[in-house]
Chain A
Amino acid sequence: MMSIAIDSTTRQDSLYSDHHVGERRHAVYTFLLCIICSMPLQATATADGGNSADITNLKQRVDILEQRLQQLQGDTLDKKEHATEASNGLQPSQPPVKFGGALRFNYFLKDYDASLKKRRGDIGFDLFRVNADGNFGKLYLSAEYRFYTYMNTIHHGYVGYHINDRNDIEGGITQVPFGLLPYAAHNFWFGIPYYLGLSDDYDSGVKFHHHDHGWDWQLAFYKNAELGNAADLNRYSYDPVTTGAAANQESNTVNARAAYTFGKNSACANELGISGMTGRLFNTDTRANGDRWAAASHLDSHCGRWNVQLEMARYGYNPRNPAGVSDRTVMLGAFGATHDIAARGTVYVTNLAYNVPVPWEGVKLLTCYNDYSMLDKDFGFDTSYINTTGCLINIGPTYTYVDLIRGRNMVYLGNGSLADGGSGTWRTRFNVNFGIYW
């Protein structure tokens, strides 16, 4: 969200003017004058003639009121300074809930789809989404609902409470605090951690957030994945799902993430962090709880126009499958589809981005990047790779991702797999995602 700077050509911020105080002073004058003027009426109502004693009393009252008036004038002068200080920091009032949204279209071309190549790609509706963000004093909320052609789903939705400047607590469907945040990629297509449910994942639970002097701590407990229905594939982020032969679902997960930023607010801010996750993996066939875990360390370095992101994450699933079902793979699902992943593996991320200075007035942002990630699987499964080179262009309210995505043994790129098997060939997808955001 772009911030709107307000700058006045007047000098009220330097020489502390405030006409409201003057108004207040006039109000005091008026109030006292009214009291004084009303007094003769009251006095005459009780006087029966020859009441000079009353007039003397009234004069004394007037003296007292005049003294009070002078005192109030003095107070006003004192208050003026504080009032003007406060007015310097005033921001225009904003509605408690702001609504936003996006409309996106997508163009894609795949080198492994012969008919698509002959058509030179396809373009179509990608997404319509509605966002609501609200503040009610210390309470706040955020929600986003997405409409795709093949599914509608909630992206996130939570209520938060600002405990104080350093602590917040949120309940609902929140982003899981793990690894690089908010995303482990710059491009539209994301990297391997997303497809493992280890990045930009949203679950239902409670999250506590503490930030202080460069430290950022997040602790969360998630009862289950975002929808509370492991069989529902119409979800935004990847989780274990129960569909077909797959019967594992996540539950009672604890996430913790600690990060420290060296050089916060400086030209080179380097965030170093570690994350951990542990939780149950309930098998609906055996009615037994297995477990799952993950751990990651990351570096997110913003240095001038450069951004370097590094992450290494190790994860493991220990399902309690029925006899005869392999424990070496787990099925994840989202966007109405599923894919298998190796039950254990190590994922590596190396992303590099550069914010290009542009001379064109209309272009607010031109960020180019190369995002690389790989999954080194246990059990001797073939390694998966994805590398995306591209740029994000922001003109007015539009954001356009232009990505050249190359993957080897990567899901959604030909016959790739994040589990066993798949294709050892590099596949290429050219993707342009054009969105209007408001």
Chain B
Amino acid sequence: MFRFTHPNNGNRRNLWAASILLLAPLTASAEPSLTFVSWGGAYTRSQMLAFVQPFEKLHNMDINVLDYNGGLDELRRQSRSLNVKWDVIDMEPADALRGCREGLLLALDPKMLAASDGTSAADDFLPGSIQRCAIGTVVWSTVVAYDSDRFKHGLAPSTLHDFFDVKKFPGARGLRRTPKGNLEWALLSDGVKPGHVYPMLETEQGLTRAFSILDKLKPNIVWWDSGNQPPQLLKNRRVVMTSAYSGRIYNAMAENNPRLRMLWDHQIWNFDLLAIPKYSRHQQQALAFVRFATASPQLAEQARHIPYGPVRESALQRIDPALRRYLPTTPDNFRNAMQINAAWWSQHYKAINARFQQWLQRPVGVPRRLPH
């Protein structure tokens, strides 16, 4: 054990006095009264500006904001050790559902979410965005993007089907290197109704059909892995069209390429939710925070900092129409949008991804270099 000794007792007293004085203000500010966990980057920045900092000012308190990579492992660990350090978590729908089922999350009362004009939460929120243990915030979306300069004389693509039609629109296509979303798009482009997509993907025939549609596109596909690549692929003219996150394309349009366009036809969307761990030590403050963060003014403010669509209709109305047309949840854009079924994917991802990886390895064309 460390024992501090000093030859001068007077000095020792001074030392302790100085230490206490110095550490007192630090301990006050080093113990935030709420810990909020989110995904970091531009997304967290939008949350900081929209509701974290305003909430801190409103309640004269500090919020500790942490980053994480999603999933429930850490929350499970904290819950098991009865040492829950997190108070509010930004989650994906599948995690929120699972966390609720496992008893890791606090059940929330949707009554606390009524709009300021009295509209009930059920009428104001997107269907499915109010879960038993989590409240939706923003919608993010995968769309088809293209450079309008590449399509002259009114021959620009206008539907998802055009993305898959290499005869009418020759050229390379960018797609994210994952089966998620691509298989759904393949079937949708082939005329499958959105409601039939997932049941069909559960059958061998349906999967084969989806892969055979991707087969036709395969020689044209340039695969991307991270969200910043699609705008680059378009800028470098490596592809004529690409799947992309709508927010990324909006940013690219605003920053350096106003010629970019987004096709909202069959956009694939998902949303984020806020949830409170069941054993949070600051439940009342956490509830107040979630109520504040999911209120229309805050969601509208967040959309100003990152072009993801608020899940509340009342929030959408608060957004400048010029910006609104770039949001996934704007009615015109959302008409035939399809929500990715995160729960379905959590169940089937492993098997389908194995098949997808094998499919990726099989070249469509004759390889340029054969072993000799």
Residues of A at under 8 Å CB distance from B? 2-3, 5-7, 9-19, 21-22, 29, 33, 36-37, 39-41, 43-44, 47-49, 51, 54-55, 58-59, 62, 66, 77, 80-81, 84-85, 88-89, 102, 182-183, 186, 188, 200, 263, 265-268, 302-307, 353-355, 357, 361, 364-365, 367, 369, 392, 399, 435, 437
User: Do residues A19 and B26 form an inter-chain contact, with CB atoms below 8 A?
Assistant: no
Q: Which residue in B26, B222, B272, B358 is a CB contact (below 8 Å) of A36? A: B26
Q: Give the distance in Å from the alpha carbon of A9 to the alpha carbon of B71 in the complex.
A: 9
User: Do residues A13 and B368 form an inter-chain contact, with CB atoms below 8 A?
Assistant: no
Given contacts A40-B18, A80-B67, contact A6 B225 (CB under 8 A): yes
User: Do residues A58 and B92 form an inter-chain contact, with CB atoms below 8 A?
Assistant: no
Q: Does B58 contact A (CB under 8 A)?
A: no
Residues of B within 8 A of A14 (CB): 140, 227, 245
User: Do residues A182 and B225 form an inter-chain contact, with CB atoms below 8 A?
Assistant: no
Residues of A within 8 A of B220 (CB): 265-267
Q: Count of A-B contacts with CB under 8 A?
A: 197
Subset of 10 A-B contacts with CB under 8 Å: A14-B245, A16-B39, A16-B227, A37-B19, A80-B41, A81-B40, A81-B41, A200-B372, A365-B362, A399-B371
Given contacts A13-B227, A183-B370, contact A7 B219 (CB under 8 A): no
User: Do residues B67 and A21 form an inter-chain contact, with CB atoms below 8 A?
Assistant: yes
Residues of A within 8 A of B42 (CB): 16, 81
Q: Give the distance in Å from the alpha carbon of A265 to the alpha carbon of B361 in the complex.
A: 17
CB distance from B30 to the nearest CB of A (A): 8
Q: Which residue in A51, A81, A85, A305 is a CB contact (below 8 Å) of B45? A: A81
CB distance from A307 to the nearest CB of B (A): 4
Q: Give the distance in Å from the alpha carbon of A66 to the alpha carbon of B29 in the complex.
A: 10
Q: Does B119 contact A (CB under 8 A)?
A: no
CB distance from B222 to the nearest CB of A (A): 6
CB distance from A316 to the nearest CB of B (A): 28
Residues of B within 8 A of A304 (CB): 219, 364-365
Given contacts A16-B41, A62-B25, A80-B40, contact A355 B364 (CB under 8 A): yes
User: What secondary structure prevails in chain A residues at the interface with B?
Assistant: mixed
List residues 221-250 of chain B with CB under 8 A from any CB of chain A: 222-223, 225-228, 238-239, 245
Q: Give the distance in Å from the alpha carbon of A355 to the alpha carbon of B345 in the complex.
A: 32
Residues of B within 8 A of A357 (CB): 215
Residues of A within 8 A of B43 (CB): 15-16
Q: Give the distance in Å from the alpha carbon of A300 to the alpha carbon of B15 in the complex.
A: 82
Per-residue interface assignment for chain B, residues 15 to 54, with 1 indicating a CB less than 8 Å from any chain A CB and 0 otherwise: 1011101110110011000000011111111001000000
User: Do residues B227 and A265 form an inter-chain contact, with CB atoms below 8 A?
Assistant: no
Residue of A with least CB distance to B15:
A44
Q: Which residue in B14, B19, B71 is a CB contact (below 8 Å) of A51? A: B14
Of B228, B367, B372, chain A has the most CB atoms within 10 Å of the CB of B372
User: Do residues A265 and B238 form an inter-chain contact, with CB atoms below 8 A?
Assistant: yes
Instruction: List 4 tightest A-B contacts by C-beta distance, closest first.
Output: A16-B41, A88-B226, A307-B366, A15-B39
State which of B78-86, B110-118, B170-178 sits at the interface with chain A.
B170-178
User: Do residues B365 and A355 form an inter-chain contact, with CB atoms below 8 A?
Assistant: yes
List residues 57-71 of chain B with CB under 8 A from any CB of chain A: 66-71
User: Do residues B41 and A305 form an inter-chain contact, with CB atoms below 8 A?
Assistant: no
User: Do residues A302 and B370 form an inter-chain contact, with CB atoms below 8 A?
Assistant: no
Residue of B with least CB distance to A236:
B372
Q: Give the distance in Å from the alpha carbon of A19 to the alpha carbon of B22 in the complex.
A: 30
Residues of A within 8 A of B215 (CB): 357
User: Do residues A49 and B21 form an inter-chain contact, with CB atoms below 8 A?
Assistant: no
